[in-house]
Amino acid sequence: MIDKRLENLATILVRYSVALKKNDLFLISGSHLAAPLIKEVYHQAIKLGAHPYTQIGIDGLAEIYYKHGSEQQLKYVSPLDKYEIEHIDARLSIISPENTRNMTNIDPKKQAISSTAHQQILRIFLERAAKKELRWCVTQYPTHAQAQDAEMSLADYEDFVFDAAHVQAKDPIKYWKTVDNNQEKIRTFLNKTKNLHVIAKETDLHISVSGRKWINCSGKENFPDGEVFTGPIETSAEGQISYSFPGSYSGREVEDIQLTFKKGVVVKATATKGEPFLRAMLAMDSGAKRLGEFAFGTNYGVKNYTKNTLFDEKIGGTIHLAVGSGYPETGSKNKSGLHWDMVCDLRKNGEVYADDELIYKNGYFLNL
């Protein structure tokens, strides 16, 4: 018998997050560990009259690709991948790793080569998403690997995931529509802002968001969700930021990241662990050293760092700034093969000023 929480999660994902419609070409991807959720999503998609198909991942294939692939193979972009991203109507990606550390010893230069080559696929995806031609969502299926990263038992991690998703609310979809309404107040306020100044531990950063559009994230592209984001002016970042939690990208973890910006470009990047990987990713292309996203995390139901960016960047009282590609719907013009979200905790002595006025303190908006 299927876990009722899983059934509710599938319902939210299909009917709310990707808003699946009859005749939609619908890609569902995840590892074999996520089979229970994949099957339930597939089942509901079939009942709606959509055309679902699956991509089931096998752990270790990426490791083989990066370890043994030639430069020619790393640069190869399959025409099937391009065709797919140009034609699907909806995509659901289910994070469900068997091992979160299997990319630890991969040469970062090889990862950079592949990411740069696949930038065109990322741009097509972002542009179609911005035009609402492609609906997409990334979600989480609880696995032992990520439960261990979060220092929880699998049962406790399942509770954490399902509670963060509010799948047991009387009407889960209504709950997320209420989140949308509440966050709309924040989005409307921030849309009037020109400049932001962030102050926190070892952080003093100025950026401009003048003329950029803020986006309300309430369970559509990510689930669970809880953030309001924009794309900063590409040349505006000045100062330094220290990220509170380890940054995770492409199966690699980097600790104590500090970035210094001048005229929007990272001019200094340090880390106590994984610094060569950090530097390699930032050197990927001309856009990798610029900011593509600035966001406030607004899900106060997610309180603890779990080494999973999907949840960590949503922690209420944090901000996250991504280096690399920006989202066109915000007005961002930054293009890169990289998009790496990094989280800064503002819950203790953190402040954000908007046009020289204090609007956010110790993890909460003031007067909103």
Name the stretches of the chain with pLDDT < 70.
Answer: 1-2
Q: What is the pLDDT of residue 1?
A: 56
DSSP string, 289-349: TSEEEEEEE-BTT--S--S-HHHHTTBTTEEEEEEEPPPGGGT-----S-EEEEEEE-TTT
Domain boundaries, the chain: 4-165, 185-365
Block residue for tokens 């989280």: 343
**What are the DSSP E strand ranges found in the chain?**
25-31, 51-57, 90-95, 135-140, 195-200, 203-208, 215-217, 222-223, 227-230, 238-242, 247-249, 252-254, 258-262, 265-270, 291-297, 318-324, 339-345, 351-354, 357-361, 364-365
**Closest C-alpha to 165, from 226, 92, 215:** 226
**What is the rounded distance in angstroms from the CA atom of residue 71 to the CA atom of residue 215?**
38
Locate 241 and state its tokens.
């930021």
**What is the rounded distance in angstroms from the CA atom of residue 294 to the CA atom of residue 203?**
15
Residues 35-57 as b/e (b if ≥16 CB within 10 A, e otherwise) read eebbebbbebbeebebebeeeeb
Residues 314 and 342 sit within 8 Å (Cβ to Cβ):
no
> Sign of dihedral through CA atoms 278, 281, 283, 287?
negative
Q: What is the pLDDT of residue 22?
A: 98
Q: What is the pLDDT of residue 304?
A: 87
Backbone angles phi, psi at 122, to 5 degrees: -65, -40
Task: For the domain covering 4-165, report its CATH number.
Answer: 3.40.1830.10
Locate 177 and state its tokens.
């529509």
Q: What is the pLDDT of residue 18?
A: 97
